Amino acid sequence: MDSNWQSVLRPDEFHYTARVPIRRHRAIPDTIDAGLERARAEAGASMARLADGATAYRVHGDRGPWVVLVPGLATPMVGWDALAGALAAAGFRVLRYDQLGRGLSDRPAVRYDADLFVRELDGLTRALAIDAACFVGWSLGCVVTSRFAARAPDRVQRLVHIAPAMFIEPPLFVRVLARAPFGRRLLASRAAAFVEQLPFEHVSHPERFTAYAAAMREQLRYPGFAAALASTVIHFPWRSGPELRAVGEHPRPVLIVWGDDDPATPYANSPRVRAIFPRAELLTLRGARHAPHVDRADVVGDALIRFLRSSDATPPAVAP
């Protein structure tokens, strides 16, 4: 996330870290009414009316142990397409959802911080009568699931961290804009450019994931996304990790999945994350970027199914 936002905020022409040229994009204002209710109906999304707003979700499978997929900073539930299908086919009930401010969910005028997303996760799982589950977090979602586990340890049977956003230092521009009266507006004005770069940050061959990129752009059409994204960046749980030590000491099984070419949550942080979760298994994916569950869906899916089915089945330490 650091390199992405710094790029879109630079006034001069820039190139992404993967050396893919980035075009300038006009920001889409939040005043455009693109028919969120109509989009929900067309998509067949289920809606849960929670304390802070309505959350769009999907459930796959009608029996088996629950697996809850918790998204990252800006990607809607489409990011879980392949993994949700593989887990459901393997006999699990899978919940995935759009966090507030993203996808087909409401964009309430609230502070978008980790507490909001933990509260949303708690409310959604309670609304669906999910008493206990395996929680799979991605990026920011790893902090959300871990803080949820700290508050409700008996409800979290296993944890999976995919590219965890832990031990991330706040970039200089965030520290400056957090204090500036115009900071959120500036960030919101660059939301479209930020979203355009995400496929290059998430996968090694973005040209193979055109539907994924299109789904991320789609949420720009609905009012409130840019403001919600800007608020999340300002209130991001920077430096998260040390406060999760008690969660890491819990005896539940933990799996960490990480691409060693991740430009958003650097793989170099993996020793520090493993120190917080000392019992965790680590699956390293060579050449994978920030979304290995999208980029290498088959490998990640197989590893997760193996991990969920048996505590004795250890995934490979390094995947080619």
> Within 13 Å of residue 26, how many CA atoms lie on the same side as its CB?
3
What's the rounded mean pLDDT across residues 10-26? 34
Give the range among 31-35, 87-91, 201-205, 234-238 with minimum mean pLDDT: 31-35
Among 8-17, 118-127, 257-266, 284-293, where is mean pLDDT lowest?
8-17
Angstrom CA distances, 37 to 135, 154, 180, 297, stand at 29, 36, 34, 31
The mean per-residue pLDDT over the stretch 81-91 comes to 97
User: Mean pLDDT, to the nearest integer, of 146-152?
Assistant: 98
Confidence of residue 310 (pLDDT cuts 50, 70, 90): confident
CA separation for the pair 110, 93 (Å, rounded): 31
Q: What would the mean pLDDT of 270-293 be, rounded to a whole number?
A: 98
Class of domain 2-319: alpha beta
Which of 3-12, 25-34, 112-121, 155-164 is the least confident region? 25-34
Residue 236 has pLDDT above 60, yes or no: yes
Residue 306, both tokens:
């193996």
Bridging pattern class, strands 46-50 and 66-70:
unpaired
C-alpha separations of 211 from 36, 67, 81, 219, 269 in Å? 19, 24, 11, 13, 31
- pLDDT higher than 60, residue 47: yes
The order of strands in the sheet holding 53-60 is: 46-50, 53-60, 93-97, 66-70, 133-138, 156-162, 254-259, 281-285, 318-319
Mean pLDDT for all residues in the chain? 89
Q: Which residues contact 90 (CB under 8 A, 6 or more apart)?
A: 305, 308, 309
Question: What is the distance between the alpha carbons of residues 101 and 109, in angstroms, rounded to a whole number?
Answer: 9
The predicted structure's pLDDT at residue 4: 62
**Residue 237 pLDDT level (bands cut at 50, 70, 90):** very high
pLDDT in tens, 52-77: 999 999 999 999 999 999 999 999 99
Per-residue pLDDT band for 317 (boundaries 50, 70, 90) equals confident
pLDDT average, residue stretch 115-122: 98
The answer to whether 285 and 292 have CB atoms below 8 angstroms apart is yes
